[in-house]
Amino acid sequence: MCWLGFDGGSSSAEVVQSAVGRLADHIGSITCNDFAVGGSNTDSIDVDNDPLMLDRNSPDVCASAGRALATLWEYGQTQAALRSAGAIVVHQQDDGAFGDRQGRGSVLTTAAALRGLLPISGESRTFFVATRRAAEFLICWAGQRSVLAADSDTVPCQSSAAAEQGLDSMLCSLPILLQAARAWNEHVWEEVLWRAVECARSSCEHERRDVPLLRCAARIEALLDLNCDHEAKLAVKRLKPVQTRAGFVSFTADGSRPWVAATALMAGVWYRLGERDRADRAVSWLARQWRPEGGFNRPSSRNRPPRNLITDLRECELFLRAVRWQVWTLFDGDLQALPDWIDDSDGRMQAVYRWIGRLPAEGRVVDVGCGAGRFLSRIAAARPQLRLAGVDISAASLAKLPPETETQVGSLLRIPYSDGAFDGALAVESLEHALLPSRAIEELCRVVRPGGWVLIIDKNRAFQPRSVHEPWEHWFAPRQVTAWLSRFCDHIHVEPIAHGPNARPDGLFLAWTARRR
């Protein structure tokens, strides 16, 4: 679905930027004392419904920080994520677990902490050791649980609260553990984990129907992470969340009480299950609820806890994850809709040809947001001696690139290459989809060596108000991108370029070239 903008409130792009800032601020405000004793902000948490608060004995500030850390890392907020990781790891127990308020090791808390730590484990030995120890604690637990389940004649999760929490713990742990096993080539771990996945799938078939909505939605999300799409779809049918015409998920069957966290979590689930219209309406409603001072409007009720830091952090994190799925599922869905060819006479291709003329004969070039490789294919044909790399959020799109092209799954907010790895980096019609464009330009410049060249081709902001576009899109004024580039580059030049075969520039497309300082 494309938009001319949301009806009232902030645009999705504005809310994303504000929510990322608020999430980073909240992470910074969680002190070591918060982790040690739970903090004064955790007293009014809704333990029964929040999937991060499943352990009644724990306020799970550490778990909240771990999930937020993972989201901040995906959005390119490196320093905020590293500060959060530093605060988390000092509270790891001797056995590798992260504990609850009583100091007991908690599987749920450890799994959430691992989710945040795994992506940054390569940043320091301290983080790697903490990540490894947390994973070893969880793999031991998962192995024991799968053996017990295999030895049982019946599925032990039909009635008891302990068994229900065991299922939650299993589903929360397995996706991140499988990621860790693949990253570290732990094949024995994978065998153990896939046995545990089969146990969890069988348990979900006997799931109680009175499980609170957020807990059930968190299970569905985990099933999708495990590629158990069939079980996830069945669980959604059983859940039957009440979505109103306005787009929000309600506490009540009559749709009278909006629920921010459930709306954001279900939006992500709906995107992943292909129910894009429902998900778009949910995200649109959430954007309209964003307050100018930050945070979401929440219904007031004597039966609901007041706003607190953990609730606010959780709502921001879930919203940002929903928007991420909004973007990712669009580009990783219908690949037939993505162009894989461009005419040589197109002004965008001509700008690329002029730009590669500045690069050394055997230079290394990366196209970030390359899609199916329409520009990389032309570059390879024109300059076969260049060493090319393509980065995109869609692995399926990367599979279409020329076989000699190096490929990596990533985004403009997190390019999986080291500083100065390339002689040139280009982003053609991808900056508009970067949820934080200023940060995206910083990342694009980071991977270019001093003296190398950057090329950005994108749309002119002056045309956006009268154009159909996705709700998260940013289009740019010439001076805006120039200012962002000037922090890292000199010799910056911007010019209007044509689009389409043998066309003339009409002002819609702009090309910025810059030399890395």
DSSP string, 54-95: --TT---HHHHHHHHHHHHHHTT-HHHHHHHHHHHHTTB-TT
pLDDT classification of 251: cutoffs 50, 70, 90:
confident
Supply the pLDDT for residue 40. 38
Decide if 228 is inside a domain: no
Using the CB atoms, write b or e for 324-348: b if 16+ within 10 Å. bbbbebbbbeeeeebeeebeeebbb
Q: Is residue 164 part of a domain?
A: yes
Whether 286 contacts 267, CB under 8 Å: yes
- 497 exposure class (CB count in 10 Å sphere: 0-12, 13-18, 19+): buried
The C-alpha atoms of residue 351 and residue 371 are separated, in whole angstroms, by 18
Within 13 A of 105's CA, how many CA atoms are on the CB side?
15
The pLDDT of residue 99: 79
Give the model's pLDDT for residue 160.
63
**CATH code, 436:** 3.40.50.150
Residue pair 74/324 in contact (Cβ under 8 Å)? The answer is yes
Domain presence at residue 116: yes
Evaluate whether residue 62 is within a structural domain: yes
- Give the pLDDT of residue 200: 85
How far is the C-alpha of 230 from the C-alpha of 476, rounded, in Å? 42
Q: Are residues 358 and 498 in the same domain?
A: yes
Whole-model pTM: value is 0.90
**pLDDT confidence bin for 397, thresholds 50/70/90:** very high
Q: For residues 159 and 19, give the distance between their C-alpha atoms in angstroms, rounded to a whole number.
A: 39
**Percent of the chain that is helix, strand, coil (3-state, to 5):** 50, 15, 35
Is the CA virtual torsion 395, 400, 406, 410 positive or negative?
negative
Percent pLDDT > 70 in the chain is 84
pLDDT of residue 253: 78
- Given 191, 210, 229, the domain boundary residue is 210
- The answer to whether residue 320 is domain-embedded is no
Helix pair angle (309-331, 260-272), 10° resolution: 20
Residue 339, pLDDT score: 83
Highest mean predicted confidence (pLDDT) among 20-29, 177-186, 198-207: 177-186
Domain-located, residue 326: no
Q: Where does a domain end: 195, 210, 225?
A: 210
User: Does 511 have pLDDT greater than 60?
Assistant: yes
pLDDT (0 to 100) of residue 306:
52
**323 Cβ partners below 8 Å, 6+ apart?**
12, 16, 283, 435, 472
Q: In which band, very low, low, confident or very high, does the pLDDT at 357 lie, cut at 50, 70 and 90?
A: very high
- Predicted local distance difference test score (pLDDT) of residue 242: 83
| Dihedral class, residue 101 (left if φ above 0, else alpha if ψ from -120 to 50, else beta) | alpha
- Of 210, 242, 258, which residue constitutes the final position of a domain? 210
Residue 200 domain flag: yes
Say whether pLDDT at 299 is over 80.
no
Lateral strand order in the sheet of 364-368: 406-409, 387-392, 364-368, 422-428, 448-459, 509-516, 489-497
Give the range of the structural domain holding residue 510, as residue numbers without chain letter.
335-516
**Do you know the residue count of the chain?**
517
Q: What is the pLDDT of residues 85-125, one digit of tens each?
A: 998 998 899 999 997 666 678 899 999 999 999 999 999 99
Residue 14 maps to a domain: no
**Structure confidence at residue 52 (pLDDT):** 40
Position 156 pLDDT exceeds 50: no
Q: How many domains does the chain have?
A: 2
Q: Among all chains, which residue has been given the structure tokens 């295999």?
A: 150
- Stretch 242-247: mean pLDDT, rounded? 92
**What's the rounded Cα separation, in Å, for the pair 189 and 168?**
20
